Chain A
Amino acid sequence: MPANAAASESIADREVVITRTYDAPARLLFEAWSKPEHLMKWFGPVGWPLTLCEVDFRKGGRFRFAMTGPDGRQNTPFGGEYLEIVPNRWIVYDNGFETPGAEKMIVTVTYDEKGGSTTLTIHTLFASVAMRNEHVGGGFEQGVGSGLDQLAGVVAGMRARERS
Chain B
Amino acid sequence: MIPAAAEPLDLVFAALADPTRRAILARLAVGEATVNDLVAPSDLSQPTISKHLKVLERAGLVSRGRDAQFRPVRLEAAPLAGAAQWLGDYHRFWAESLDQLDTYVKELKRKEARHAGKRRRK
Contacts and interface: CB of A to CB of B under 8 A. Distances in A.
A138 B26 contact: no
Given A46-B96, A138-B9, A151-B22, A32 B101 contact: yes
Interface stretch (A3-11, A52-60, A83-91, A154-162): A154-162
Nearest to A147: B16
A148 B91 CA distance: 10
Contact of A41 (B9, B30, B85, B104): B104
Given A16-B90, A137-B2, A31 B100 contact: no
Interface in B8-24: 9-10, 12-14, 16-17, 19, 22-23
Contact of A135 (B17, B90, B96): B90
A43 B105 contact: no
Interface residues of B, number: 50
Contacts, number: 141
B80 A155 contact: yes
Contacts of B29: 153-154, 157-158, 161
Contacts of B85: 137
A157 B106 contact: no
B46 to A, nearest CB: 23
B92 interface: yes
A142 B112 contact: no
Contacts of B12: 139
> Which residue, of B2, B14, B106, has the highest number of chain A Cβ atoms within 10 A?
B2
B120 interface: no
A43 B17 contact: no
Contacts of A99: none
List 5 A-B pairs, minimum CB-CB distance, nearest first: A157-B29, A143-B17, A137-B86, A42-B100, A138-B6
